[in-house]
Amino acid sequence: MDPYFQSDDIKLTDLLRGIKNYSIYVLKRIYIVIAATILLYYGGRWFADISEKQWVANASFNAIDSRSGGGFGGLMSLASSFVGIGGGTSNDILSGIFSSRNVVKTSLLDEVEIHGKKDKIINFYLESLGYMDVYKATPGLEDFKFTAVDIYKLSPTEDSVISEVYNSLVEDYIEVEFDPLAGLIRAGVYTPTKEVAQKLCESMLRNTQQYYALSANRKALDGYNKLKSRVDSIDGALTYYNGLVATTKDQNIFNKKDEGVLSLTEYNREIAFLNIQYNDALSSLEAAKSALGTESDVMRIVDQPAFSTEIDERDPDFWGLIGLGVGAVLSILILCFVKASQDSFTEEKLEKEKMTTTIS
């Protein structure tokens, strides 16, 4: 074997010797590690204490599935089997509606009362963030506040501000997820104050329910109209075949023929079949008609923000432990880096001295 390559092999004994040397180096300077861990432990706790505290309004709700067989969903499921429309709600769709632009912006423009003062939620929200003071100090915005009745009547400035607020809320301060084990959509709305978090979450729940109820009502009305058209169509066919039967009977009174008897049998068969279809369609029409008055049952709210609003803050103990771990690991790595730098410098110095001796 070439001795040149043999000299570059990494031996296990060399590795173990290196680990031992580094361990001894760190242990001799353990006071640095202890000081770093203590410093970052209290640094983590300090970070948790100064971090912005948020209030979170929690809510849990779900959609009433059309396949459950009860209420609005069950009736719409029966109706949809005849006209090919979707009759039930979806928890995925309901989750999307809760955090949609329509619902969030509409909710922000709702007027509520907090501490005896009536105003729009977005004005309370901006005030809790300190933006109202910023507007007062900005030329041209000294008297700015939201006055639009709905999202369709926003001024350009209002539209710009509420869009920024929406993006911020959806990205960082609104959480929506479906828990398949509990069968519930769990939502959380975070704001700097308890009252704003609670009012905003309540408004979002209400607007989500109203929006979906309106969509469901439109779907129910569409199903009702389609079923009514089908009933009318079958009724027209029955009238036509009953007329043919009457005509055939009148003709056969004076001139009985075999083809007349066969035609009468065929007409009666069609009438019997149409009667079955008519009865089924009529039952579905009654179900769809009942569904028109039960559109509010598309969503079930289990936990209301009124009794599910709490403060959300960082745990000092948790962040202290994180600081402790980071301090220990970081200080050891730095000491190892210093040791490696010193060894490299020493080897380079010895190499230069060896070269000088060889030349001499």
Quickly list DSSP for 256-315: --HHHHHHHHHHHHHHHHHHHHHHHHHHHHHHHHHHTT-GGGGEEEEE-GGG-EEEE---
Looking at the structure, tell me whether residues 171 and 226 fall in a common domain: yes
Q: Tell me, yes or no, whether 228 and 323 share the same domain.
A: no
Instruction: Check whether residue 20 and residue 122 sit in a common domain.
Output: no
Specify the CATH number for the domain of residue 114.
3.30.1890
309-312 and 54-63 strand pairing: antiparallel
DSSP state of 153: G
Q: What does the alpha-carbon distance between residue 216 and residue 218 come to, in Å, rounded to a whole number?
A: 5
23, 37, 155, 322, 338 from 33: Cα distances, Å: 12, 6, 59, 15, 14
Helical H segments across the chain, by residue range:
3-7, 12-28, 30-50, 71-83, 91-98, 101-108, 121-129, 131-136, 156-168, 194-254, 258-291, 316-359
Q: Which of 274, 295, 312 is the last residue of a domain?
A: 312
Which residue range forms the structural domain that includes residue 230?
Answer: 54-312
Q: Are residues 7 and 104 in the same domain?
A: no
Q: Total structural domains in the chain?
A: 2
130 lies in the same domain as 273: yes
Q: Are residues 118 and 218 in the same domain?
A: yes
Q: Helix (H, G, I), strand (E, B), or coil: what is residue 87? A: coil
Nearest CA to 20 out of 8, 28, 32 is that of 28
Are residues 8 and 20 located together in one domain of the fold? Answer: yes
245 and 339 both lie in a single domain: no
Per-residue pLDDT of the chain (360 residues; tens, 9 = 90+): 444 444 445 667 777 888 888 888 888 889 888 998 999 988 888 877 776 778 999 999 998 754 433 444 444 444 444 434 343 347 888 899 999 999 999 999 999 999 999 999 999 999 999 999 999 888 988 889 999 999 999 999 999 999 999 999 999 999 999 988 888 999 999 999 999 999 999 999 999 988 887 776 666 666 666 777 787 788 777 787 777 766 766 555 555 554 445 567 777 777 788 788 878 877 776 776 665 555 456 788 899 998 888 887 666 788 888 988 998 899 899 988 988 888 888 877 777 777 777 766
